Amino acid sequence: MKISVKNADIKNEVCDVVVINLFEGVKNPSGATGVINEAVNNKIVDYIINMEDFKGEFGTFYTLPVLNNEIAAKKILIAGLGKKEDFNLNKLRELSAKIINECKKNKKDKNIVSILHGAGEGELCTKCCAKMIAEGITIANYKFDKYLSDEDKNKTAQIENFIICENDETKIEKIKEGLYIGETIAKASNFAKDLINEAAYVMTPNKLSEVAKSIDEVDIKIYDKKDIEKMDMGAYLAVARGSVNEPKFIHLTYKPKNPNGKKVAIIGKGITFDSGGMDLKPPSSMLNMKDDMSGAACVIGLFSVLNELNINTEVHGIIAACENMISGCAYKPGDILKAKNGKTIEVDNTDAEGRLTLADALCFADELNVDEVIDVATLTGACMVALGTCASGIMGTNQELINKLIEVSKVSDEKLWQLPLYEEYDKSLKSDIADMKNTGSRYAGASTAGVFLSKFIKNKNWAHIDIAGTAFLEKPDKYGVKMANGAMVRTLLYYLKECKCK
């Protein structure tokens, strides 16, 4: 889909659909909606508003065919913005996604012209409106159809052009900038989705490392099994041992052209398939476990656009990729492992593998002397039980960092909710024969996993984000996104980009 802006009169734009909008309760629409209303002989006011066919409730639509060439578009789509006082940039992103989903219902609708929703009567910042629209439409236009037959692929419409029509020439540059940022952020998220939705037999640790290697203008070092052994990553190696697909430890480095002096490491859990190991998962829990590399996909998604977004922070991306499989070589309950920092771990449950791989990755990040370490992981079913599929859990050692990430998640609209790392949770990880066990009590599972991770990082600016509930959706979310959803890509990009405007 090509997204662009045009300085033109919306009445004259030739397209399949022209999208205008209406706030709830508006009787005499102004701006572009007013212009279109006039051009179609007041039909919008006379028939749609006055006859109360359409009230403008948020996310609802009304389609009006164009007769007698009153305007150049073939039909008019009126998007309901809801109550003016409730409208904001997050609503705009959501509405934009809904517009795409609405247009996709008709196969013939390929060329869309839209006004810049939110910037007129909505009084929101022009650049941010453009950003939200580009983000929303790009997220919603995503599809994973590579394994479908051509016939099935063609069943849904593919939007080819989305043009923002703006009659005020002075706004064009700002709109262009916004569209570029929004589209780039959403592209990164869609890239992550592609990696997660791919089948696990394709998206192996090696494949993941090759995808990471294909990113332009970032440095990469890939460590293979022998290198990982030399680095004494005994916890990570144990998890990897059960699979014929060897582990790959991936270290990406992005050096900014205009450095601001800050260095951040972002670690992504990269279990390309989690069978549970010897503590095998039941079938229903194993079904979507190709998504257990969603943290890794998030890191790769971020790296794919750091240059394009001109990020000024130095960013390290770290992925300890491997499979958690069951075989004659697999690690066993009762095994005692030694992590990179020398600490020993008694394996209580082989299905708590993510924290073992992350333990060594955290030790590695510690040695990079970065200012902050953030890890993103599909770590615990307990987090999903606690927060559901609409919020990720966040915990860590620096409240300021956590607060900043929570604030930015309100801008990206990927909810983060803090969970505690109380000292009390320590007890349940006590082992009689090693420094700790890898699992503790059945209760507070997300926090216990967090406490476990905290033993492997000295850096006091550490945040852990558990995306077990948010990474892969069985039902479509409010953007219409199902399956992989690129969790935390947008949030971390907004964080790195230091977007100020709300």
Active site residues: 281, 355
CB of 229 to ligand BES, least distance (A): 23
Site string for Zn ion, 336-365 (x = CB under 5 A): ------------------x-----------
CB closer to Zn ion out of 263 and 437: 437
* Nearest residue to 54 (alpha-carbon basis) of 20, 79, 32: 79
- Which of 60, 253, 312, 349: binder of ligand BES (CB under 6 A)? 349
Residue 166 touching Mg ion (CB under 5 A) = no
Distance (Å, whole) CA 63 – CA 79: 9
Identity of the residue numbered 41 = N
CB of 414 to Zn ion, least distance (A): 20
Residue 94 touching ligand BES (CB under 6 A) = no
DSSP string for residues in 33-81: HHHHHHHTTTHIIIIIITTTS----TT-EEEEE--TTSSSEEEEEEEEE
| Piece in contact with Mg ion (CB under 5 A), picked from 46-54, 140-148, 171-179, 267-275 | 267-275
CB closer to ligand BES out of 306 and 382: 382
Residue 391 touching ligand BES (CB under 6 A) = no
Distance (Å, whole) CA 231 – CA 181: 39
| 3-state SS assignment for residue 88 | coil
Distance (Å, whole) CA 440 – CA 264: 30
Inter-residue contact 434 to 447 (CB < 8 Å): no
CB of 349 to Mg ion, least distance (A): 8
Inter-residue contact 462 to 365 (CB < 8 Å): no
- Which of 198, 351, 372, 375: binder of Mg ion (CB under 5 A)? 351
Residue 292 touching Zn ion (CB under 5 A) = yes
- Which of 409, 439, 447, 470: binder of ligand BES (CB under 6 A)? 439
Site string for ligand BES, 54-93 (x = CB under 6 A): ----------------------------------------
| Piece in contact with Mg ion (CB under 5 A), picked from 142-150, 266-274, 294-302, 366-374 | 266-274
Residue 351 touching ligand BES (CB under 6 A) = yes
The sign one gets for the Cα dihedral 469, 465, 87, 183 is negative
CB of 323 to Zn ion, least distance (A): 10
Residue 378 touching ligand BES (CB under 6 A) = yes
Residue with the CB atom nearest ligand BES in the bound state? 381
Secondary element (H or E) of residue 192: helix 172-197
| Piece in contact with Zn ion (CB under 5 A), picked from 91-99, 136-144, 266-274, 341-349 | 266-274
Distance (Å, whole) CA 388 – CA 329: 35
- Which of 102, 109, 135, 292: binder of ligand BES (CB under 6 A)? 292
Residue 274 touching ligand BES (CB under 6 A) = yes
Which does residue 349 touch among ligand BES, Mg ion, Zn ion, none (CB within 5 to 8 A, set by kind)? Answer: ligand BES
Between helix 354-366 and helix 445-454 the angle, nearest 10°, is 30
Residue 293 touching ligand BES (CB under 6 A) = no
Q: Across the chain, which distance is largest between two alpha carbons, in Å?
A: 84
CB of 275 to Mg ion, least distance (A): 8
376 bridge partner residues? 268, 465
DSSP string for residues in 353-383: -HHHHHHHHHHHHHTTT-SEEEEEE---HHH
CB closer to ligand BES out of 118 and 205: 205
Residue 360 touching Mg ion (CB under 5 A) = no
- Which of 135, 166, 353, 375: binder of ligand BES (CB under 6 A)? 353
Residue 274 touching Zn ion (CB under 5 A) = yes
DSSP code for 28? S
Neighbouring residues of 460: CB distance < 8 A, sequence distance ≥ 6: 397, 398
Residue 274 touching Mg ion (CB under 5 A) = yes
| Piece in contact with Zn ion (CB under 5 A), picked from 87-95, 222-230, 272-280, 450-458 | 272-280
Distance (Å, whole) CA 43 – CA 37: 6
Which pairing describes strands 415-418 and 436-437: parallel, antiparallel, or unpaired?
Answer: unpaired
Residue 445 touching ligand BES (CB under 6 A) = yes
Torsional class of 487: left (φ above 0), alpha (ψ -120 to 50), beta (otherwise): beta
| Piece in contact with ligand BES (CB under 6 A), picked from 37-45, 381-389, 390-398, 477-485 | 381-389
Which does residue 266 touch among Zn ion, Mg ion, ligand BES, none (CB within 5 to 8 A, set by kind)? Answer: none
C-alpha distances out from residue 296 to 135, 253, 281, Å: 22, 14, 22
Binding to ligand BES, residues 463-502 (CB under 6 A): 468
Which does residue 439 touch among ligand BES, Mg ion, Zn ion, none (CB within 5 to 8 A, set by kind)? Answer: ligand BES
268 bridge partner residues? 319, 376
Neighbouring residues of 146: CB distance < 8 A, sequence distance ≥ 6: none
Residues that bind Mg ion (CB under 5 A): 274, 351, 353
Residues that bind ligand BES (CB under 6 A): 274, 292, 349, 351-354, 378-382, 384, 439, 445, 468
